[in-house]
Structure 1
Amino acid sequence: MKERETIPDMALRPFRDDGLKWAALLALLVLASPVFADEAFVTSQPANALNIVDLETSKVVATIPVLGKPAGIAVTPDGRRAFVTSPDDHVVSIIDAAARTVTARIDVGGGPLGIAVHPSGGTVYVADWYGARVLALEAESGRITGTVETGLSPSGLAVTPDGRLLLSADRDSNAVSIIDTGSLTKVGEVRVGERPFGVTIDADGKRAYTANVASDDVSVIDLESRTVAGTVKVGKRPYAVALAKGRAFVTDQYEDTVSVFDVASLEPVARIPVGEYPEGIAASRDGSRVYVANWETNTLSVIDTATLKVVGEVPVADGPRAFGAFIRRTQ
């Protein structure tokens, strides 16, 4: 069993040395032939690896070595590239998603954690946990083009569908920073629950949802008024939120469940048992499935959003975290 932390007070886990040698890791590398089903790009921190899961076959089709305890993940809208944060190495890795190779490692300093891609695919945003800032990187080259100050310990990031606003969940400020992407300036702040970590924006760009780790709830933010429209109690230590079929799905780290609530009424719908210590969560493009990375059981759970039941488990490398938008759309 991997030791659980009480809450990521450093947000960077105390990792054990499980003796994984580079030769063994490289032996796991699978160079898959081109695939056309959507894929999950799952970061595994202790394994220093990125697992690529074919979501049609529910099988790992490639494992890419990524140094520095990879945590955050974001994929460009066209599916060409993935970007991975490695807090231990202060690096963002750029990955050619089709070739399954790391094409660049960008030293950004600080503690890169959350990451998001602008809808245009041209800019990548990186949360610097230690520096209380967000960096903007040119997606093609990885060149840093600007920075903007946030609250303390910025964690999850999300961009509105129109690309105008970037949200940063500032964990140790109990707030969400609102950033204008055009000028890269902070234009607002919304106070939310205690220790917000993951943040997700709906497809209409009207509401955002933060998983508040210390208050065991989700804050629902109205982006037009920049106020909290509601608060929903969920399980213990919520980590991140996915949206599908008019419902929010929330990973409850300390209860090994996913809490589900209706986004219109904000009423609870279900509590779904998954693997141990669920963290990253994302929905398929059609909303029929939700995928959950389970840190302790080293699996990716597959939830059917119609039946609200787990319909599959995919084994992945040690310590899957998948913090961010980890679904690659290949068609």
Structure 2
Amino acid sequence: MHRTILAAAALLWAAPVPCPAQAQIALSANDNKQVWENGVVRTLPNPPADTVNILDLGATPPRIVATVQAPHSIVGPPSSVALTPDGGLGLVASSNRVDPANPTRVVPDNRVSVIDLRASPPAVVQTVEAGLGPSGVSVNRAGNLALVANRNAGTVSVFRIANGRLEPVSTLTVGPPASGVSHVQFTPDGRFALVTRDADFMVSVLKVEGEQVTAAGRDITVGIRPYSFGITPDGRWAVVGNVGRLSGDSDTASLISLTSEPFRAVDTITVGATPEGVQVSPDNRHVAVTLINGSTRPEGHPLRGRGQVVMLRIEDGRLQRVAQADIGTWAQGVAFSSDGSRVFVQNMVEREIQVLSFDGQRLATIDRLRVDGGPTAIRTP
């Protein structure tokens, strides 16, 4: 955390505004290609460029430090951006792009952009190719390896991080292309990674030895369509959001114990309809889950509802629901402040980041930050 604050402070020093004492940098990516119109997702002709907002979450209210143009997409879990632990680089995946042959639809993309966050102003310095439909992205704690889950290929791309650049190392086949490989994340010790497969309902364990990433031979059974997930900083737990069949029924989140091998699911709890974003708190105790909750259905639909964020507590190897609050339409990613007292939710349709306070028992909206597109993925280092 100390290194993150120093890197963030250096970035803010380059901006023409005073540098706050407790800066906390986050990346929030925006899709400007697709919009929601009364229950229908439409691809815009000749859309403006997708963007990435570099945020200071330590400021009150949070603020946009800089904005960079980079291809991005709402398709896939809202964990398709990542930062290196020192805050120097940002990685942004683009799972879909406008079809050159038909501008009214999108087709799978394969690009991952590398942003130099220490440049003044921050800028894209490299674009690399992953597999089809790059979605969830993660960097190990050593800051020298990145993984990208390729949603349309059933693979995970492995990249070396060196000298401010990504270098391809290998591609691991996790399942068939239709398996829906969605998000991949290292365990904090760097020895393993987990990858969700939302089309065949399992979480696969990968083994990491140096730059070699292989299948560990262990697939974990969770709920229906595991999608986003977070791992506690102490490496004891992973929490997976299971988006279900998008049928309007209440869906679930599963708790995976990482304290001994083989890893296994130990609890599943009902959270509400369509858990989209999942993030764990810095103190290892809480999990924020954003629920679409029927908010994308047309007006008058019997299953239409308001988006919600639900707070869970990890206690005695179980998940307990402790708070919830209303949020916006087609809500996506979620992040915590460094002290866990604030929660930041992306509302796609409203084009805003909703800020909520959390005191361990209650969630309450305290601010809203307008952004320059539909926010679809957010991460902190």
Equivalent position of 1:247 in the other structure: 286
Pair 1:124 & 2:146 matched: yes
Corresponding pairs, count: 296
Pair 1:166 & 2:193 matched: yes
TM-score, normalised with respect to structure 2: 0.74
Equivalent position of 2:364 in the other structure: 309
Moved more, 230-239 or 136-145: 136-145
Distance apart, 1:33 and its partner CA: 4.1
Q: Is the 8 A contact 2:157 2:170 kept in 1?
A: yes
Summarize the alignment of residues 222-301 of structure 1 with structure 2, pairs less than 5 Å apart.
222-223=257-258, 224=260, 225-244=262-281, 245=283, 246-254=285-293, 255-264=306-315, 265-301=318-354
Equivalent position of 1:25 in the other structure: none
Pair 1:196 & 2:226 matched: yes
d(CA) in 2 for partners of 1:109 and 1:165?
Answer: 21
Higher strand share: 2
Equivalent position of 1:96 in the other structure: 116
Mind listing any 5+ residue stretches in structure 2 that lack a counterpart?
1-13, 33-48, 98-108, 246-250, 294-305
Q: Is the 8 A contact 2:253 2:268 kept in 1?
A: yes
**CA 148–33 in structure 1, closer or farther in 2 if over 3 Å, else same:** farther
**CA 259–275 in structure 1, closer or farther in 2 if over 3 Å, else same:** same
Moved more, 211-220 or 68-77: 68-77
Equivalent position of 1:155 in the other structure: 182
Q: Is the 8 A contact 1:167 1:199 kept in 2?
A: no
Q: Amino acid of the residue matched to residue 147 of structure 1?
A: T
Q: Is the 8 A contact 1:168 1:199 kept in 2?
A: no
Paired-residue identity, %: 30
- The match for 2:73 among 64, 69, 75 is 69
d(CA) in 2 for partners of 1:195 and 1:33?
Answer: 45
Bigger Rg, which one: 2
Moved more, 91-100 or 271-280: 271-280
Distance apart, 1:67 and its partner CA: 2.5
Q: Amino acid of the residue matched to residue 64 of structure 1?
A: V
Q: Amino acid of the residue matched to residue 156 of structure 1?
A: H
Please give the per-residue CA displacement for 1:103-142, whole angstroms capped at 9, x wherever unaligned.
Answer: 0011224111110001100011000111111111112332
d(CA) in 1 for partners of 2:309 and 2:30?
Answer: 20
**CA 179–59 in structure 1, closer or farther in 2 if over 3 Å, else same:** same
Q: Is the 8 A contact 2:279 2:334 kept in 1?
A: yes
d(CA) in 2 for partners of 1:211 and 1:201?
Answer: 12
d(CA) in 1 for partners of 2:87 and 2:376?
Answer: 20
Distance apart, 1:242 and its partner CA: 1.7
d(CA) in 2 for partners of 1:81 and 1:167?
Answer: 22
Q: Amino acid of the residue matched to residue 202 of structure 1?
A: T
Equivalent position of 1:22 in the other structure: none
Q: Amino acid of the residue matched to residue 94 of structure 1?
A: V
d(CA) in 2 for partners of 1:263 and 1:132?
Answer: 31
Distance apart, 1:240 and its partner CA: 2.1
Please give the per-residue CA displacement for 1:216-275, whole angstroms capped at 9, x wherever unaligned.
Answer: 110111122422110011121001212225221101012411011221142211211122
Equivalent position of 1:24 in the other structure: none
Mind listing any 5+ residue stretches in structure 1 that lack a counterpart?
1-30
d(CA) in 2 for partners of 1:157 and 1:284?
Answer: 22
TM-score, normalised with respect to structure 1: 0.84
d(CA) in 2 for partners of 1:236 and 1:137?
Answer: 35
Moved more, 200-209 or 112-121: 200-209
d(CA) in 1 for partners of 2:377 and 2:367?
Answer: 17
d(CA) in 2 for partners of 1:130 and 1:277?
Answer: 22
d(CA) in 1 for partners of 2:114 and 2:337?
Answer: 23
Q: Amino acid of the residue matched to residue 56 of structure 2?
A: D
Q: Amino acid of the residue matched to residue 102 of structure 1?
A: V
Q: Amino acid of the residue matched to residue 186 of structure 1?
A: A
Pair 1:184 & 2:213 matched: yes
Distance apart, 1:68 and its partner CA: 4.9
Moved more, 302-311 or 185-194: 302-311
Summarize the alignment of residues 48-87 of structure 1 with structure 2, pairs less than 5 Å apart.
48-55=50-57, 56-57=59-60, 58-69=62-73, 72-87=80-95
